Amino acid sequence: MNVIGIIAEYNPFHNGHIYQIETIRAKYPKARIIALMSGSFTQRGCPAILDKWQRASHAVLSGIDLVLELPAAFAVRSAQNFAHGGVSLLSRLGVVDGLSFGAESPLAFLQCAADSSKRSDVQELLHAYVQKGHSYAAALSHAIAQSSGINEAFLKQPNNILALEYLRALNCCATSIEPFAVARIGAAYHDEELHDTYASASSIRREIQTAAPRRNLLAKVLPANSMEALFEAHTEEAIPEINLLFRPLLAQLEHHTLENLQEIYGINEGFENRLLHAASHCLTMKELLDECRSRRHPQSRIQRLIFHIMLHLRRQDIHEFDENGPLYARILAFNRAGKSLLHEIKQKSSLPLISKTSHFLKDAALKYSPEKRTTLENMLALDIHATEVRRLCLPQIAKRGEDFQRSPLFISDKRKTPA
């Protein structure tokens, strides 16, 4: 493999991510690595703990050659859409021949599960379980396990869930990109306790959001640049909190009818009734999330729906995005090897490389209705609006317009400069 892609969130960048990079380098020492990274919001519908430029720079300082933003149109979606959007974008770059991802199980096991998911009997079971009220992820694992005899417990492990979707996306995109699974080490994905060397991102976020984060423990699980950025954000009250979206959400819902909400992507099965009822008396975001939660609507899905409401993301918008796939590659950070990759992408890909947002979308155009913009402009506008919504989640609100003001970072000899 000459160019290997990683689809990630780096929320925040930690030692487990360094382990993945080192594992790739050990097997493919001459390979260059491209990371597709979620921008201002993560797949679970939460604001990223540090802004996308900071997280991208930490990745390049630790061995990634080029970081591109995974558009929010795919990043803040289900695991299936997240994986498909990422694989599609990597494939369209025209230079990527490998995809690396973490997994709790061997690649052969996961490939067997991915292959079985295409069978008609599995698809029938999948739809039957969804009709019974199971979430898509749960329905898929039930269907594969029931039809193939694969142990369902393995399919439910967090990294395996995404790994399975990456493999299914590779099959669906008919790409020549080869998978490269890296065995997960250290803490479990959702483990909230800090462990030496390799801790989960969840436990790191939980610790830095305490009143007095323990520097000695975080120093063991984070590279120095990532740790210092987190402590600086903690000191300056610059760590976002999804709870701060509660009042803006209530203000939005005051103007929504049931019919309006039914236009929003992902809102169906009567969820609009439950949401409006909860909003009529809940006093905190936690209360609202608790009241709206169900087997079919876990907290992560509800948080994504809140994001979609805040950005007024309609079904027809998503349908258009999915039909076209990712339409650009937005550059966040790169090193010298990444710079050569950008030259190759320009030669081999039809996708535009975005380094200056204003060259593709003017600030004034953000006020236009989606019908007055192109699909690319609407996709890019969603990324920009996501950054502005993340700004609302900061205890000390920041200035607007970062996406128009900030340039990609060129990082050479561990120093960051605007490109």
Query: In angstroms, rounded to a whole number, what is the distance separating the alpha carbons of residues 12 and 221?
Result: 11
Q: Does 14 carry a binding-site annotation?
A: yes
Q: Does 8 carry a binding-site annotation?
A: yes
CA–CA–CA angle 365, 35, 68 (5° rounding): 20
> Which long-range contacts (C-beta less than 8 Å, at least 24 apart) are formed by 295-302?
295/133, 295/134, 295/135, 295/138, 296/133, 296/134, 296/135, 296/269, 297/135, 297/271, 298/135, 300/43, 300/44, 300/45, 301/45, 301/78, 301/135, 301/266, 302/45
**Of 179, 6, 159, 169, whose CA–CA distance to 88 is shortest?**
169
Q: What residues form DSSP beta bridges with 101?
A: 181
Ramachandran region, residue 167 (left: φ > 0; alpha: ψ -120 to 50; beta: rest): alpha
Q: Does 10 carry a binding-site annotation?
A: yes
Q: Does 184 carry a binding-site annotation?
A: yes
**Of 189, 201, 175, 166, whose CA–CA distance to 81 is shortest?**
166
Q: Does 272 carry a binding-site annotation?
A: no
Contacts of 345 (CB under 8 A, 6+ apart): 93, 94, 95, 329, 351, 353
Contacts of 202 (CB under 8 A, 6+ apart): 189, 190, 191, 192
The 3-state DSSP class for residue 365 equals helix
Q: Does 20 carry a binding-site annotation?
A: yes
Q: Does 16 carry a binding-site annotation?
A: yes
* 48 neighbors 397 (Cβ within 8 angstroms): no
**Packing angle between helix 224-235 and helix 52-61, nearest 10 degrees?**
160
Q: Does 15 carry a binding-site annotation?
A: yes
Query: In angstroms, rounded to a whole number, what is the distance separating the alpha carbons of residues 332 and 55?
Result: 9
Binding residues for ATP: 7-20, 102, 159, 184-185
Binding residues: 7-20, 102, 159, 184-185
